[in-house]
Structure 1
Amino acid sequence: MTSSTTNDVPTASTRAQECFDRPAAVTRSLLGYGPLAGAVYLTSGLIQAQTRDGFDLTRHDLSLLANGPLGWIQITTLVVAGLMTVAAAVGMRRALDDGLAGTWGPGLLAGYGLALVVAGVFVADPMAGFPLGTPDGPPSEPSLSGLLHMAAGGVGFACLVATTFVVARRFARERRAGWAWASRAVGLVVLGGFLGVATGWTSSWAVLGLWVGVVAGWAWIAAVAVLLYRRTPHPRS
């Protein structure tokens, strides 16, 4: 009897396991990839931009870094950042339980992540003097890889813009007016930055606009991921 009674008493480790919320831990872990994806993409891109001969931040977008002997670094960056974004989208889906934002928002964000992966697989054509020795201006005959890269970029930015507006609607319903308006503003900035380059405007202002859009998009993903992370209950609470 004594032995049986002793075995029925829960130990400290058993009680700790019972109090641990594994689904919440998984959700928070996945959301953590939101800020990390943008940090990896921007940090890697800026370091390469400062170390690759002939690359000019005022004339070239980061996609061109995928060309040349060291192009594998940017290719890897795009693929890794894209997969991290998909992971963050899964975390968003788990944190936003239902409704339009809970379904379409994460789905569109995952689309943006997958587009980054595709953009890494299909390399942009050399142009505007990069890599060194490339004629100035756009490529005279775009390759299939270059066209698919542009298509992936268009789809990706469209998904990101749509994500901001879908999630903004959720914020508005939650009476988070600041978050709602900020999300819409970021969506417009991202859209404007991409259209400036996609329409063939290759001036420094167009490249700067693209940079602003890219940074704003990553900052928004990070901010929303952190917000949802904090709203998700701590696994041991």
Structure 2
Amino acid sequence: MTTTAPLPHTTAANANATGVRVDTRALLACAAVAGPLWVAVSVAQAATRDGFEPTRHALSQLATGSLGWLQIANFVIAGVLATAGAAGLRRVMRGTPGGVAVPRLVRVIGVGMVAAGLLTMDPADGFPVGTPKGVPESMSWHAYGHMAAGSVTFIALIAAGYLLGRHFSRLGNRRLAVVCRVAATVKLAGDAWAMSGGEAGALTIAIGTSAMFALLAYVAVHYRRSA
């Protein structure tokens, strides 16, 4: 039983069919790179920035301080790549269960990441070095904007994971369907744990986000092989 969706049909008038395939593969490459790039750059900074504690500080907080521009650029570049990748997923998933909703959600994720990068968090809880411990008494407008963009992105990630589970289940690829649902559940559980005030909530959010980004990258590679 097939587990991949066919590419859109080309007509005889469109003689450059190879060009269409290459373009689709390039877009899928963008989707495959976006999440792992964001995670790799974030982890590298988390390991090297003075005062950063992964169990206490969200990866988004790396966008503050003198080196904050690195994480801002990381958000924006990854978001642009994800937005472009959504177009590739729309082509290869057309006509399949979730073939409309999933690419739209990936586009929302990309736009949300760009917004989250441009709207930075406030320094808090000892980071960057010299910032007082604890939560600030007030928040800036851009910190509120970051929280809104992040919430939309997280919801879209979870929804995309579960819809991909249904997508691959209907196509007969039950193993990948289970992987999709597990990744979405890890993200959901990590966010819920953090929102409930659980210990190391920042880390559980990061783990769940990384799991979903890895899943989206794998799905993009999965379809790129057949493009």
Q: Same fold (TM over 0.5)?
A: yes
Alignment of 1:190-205 (within 5 A): 190-201=187-198, 203-204=199-200
Task: State the match for 2:226 in structure 1.
Answer: 231
Matches within 5 A, 1:89-128: 89-128=86-125
- Measured after TM superposition, the shift of residue 39 of structure 1 is 2.6
CA distance in 2: counterparts of 1:142 and 1:229, whole angstroms: 43
Q: Tell me the residue number matched to 1:63.
A: 60
1:52 aligns with 2:49: yes
8 Å CA contact 2:58–2:202 kept in 1: the answer is yes
TM-score by length of 2: 0.88
Partner letter of residue 218 of structure 2?
A: A
Correspondences of 1:147-166 after superposition (within 5 Å): 147-166=144-163
The 3 A distance-change label for structure 1 pair 70 and 132 is same
* Distance in 2 (alpha carbons) for counterparts of 1:169 and 1:223: 16
Q: CA RMSD in A?
A: 1.7
The size of the alignment, in residue pairs, is: 214
**Greater Rg by CA:** 1
**2:10 corresponding residue in structure 1:** none
Distance in 2 separating the partners of 1:122 and 1:105:
25
| 1:77-110 alpha-carbon deviations (Å, 9 max, x no partner) | 0000111111111110011122441111100111
2:216 matched residue in structure 1: 221
The answer to whether residue 207 in structure 2 is matched with residue 212 in structure 1 is yes
Asked if structure 1 preserves the Cα contact closer than 8 Å seen for 2:36 and 2:217, the reply is no
Query: Distance in 1 between the 2:226 and 2:151 partners?
Result: 32
CA-to-aligned-CA distance 1:33-77 (integer Å, 9 cap, x gap): 123112321221122122221112222121111111111110000
The alpha carbon displacement at 1:30 in A equals 0.6
Unaligned residue ranges in structure 1 (runs of 5+): 1-17, 233-237
SS of aligned partner of 1:101: coil
The AA in structure 2 aligned to 1:217 is: M
Distance 2:146 2:209 in 1: 16
Unmatched 5+ stretches in structure 2: 1-14
Instruction: Letter of the 1:209 partner, please give it.
Output: T
Query: Within 5 Å, which residues of 2 pair with 1:8-19?
Result: none
User: For each residue in 1:109-160, what CA deviation from the matched residue of structure 2 results, as whole angstroms up to 9, or x when unmatched?
Assistant: 1101111100001001211211112222222112211111111111001011
Residue matched to 2:8: none
Offset at residue 211 of structure 1 (A): 2.2
> Which secondary structure state, in structure 1, belongs to the residue aligned with residue 52 of structure 2?
coil
What secondary structure sits across from 2:100 in the alignment?
A: helix
Determine which structure has the larger helix proportion and give its number.
1
Partner of 1:36: 33
Which residue matches 1:13? none
Q: Structure 1 length normalisation: TM-score?
A: 0.85
Q: State the one-letter code of the partner of 1:165.
A: Y
State the percentage of identical aligned residues: 37
1:136 partnered with 2:128: no
Shift of 1:170: 1.4
Describe the superposition over 1:160-204 as per-residue Cα deviations: whole angstroms up to 9, x where unpaired: 111111222111111111111111111111112223333444x32
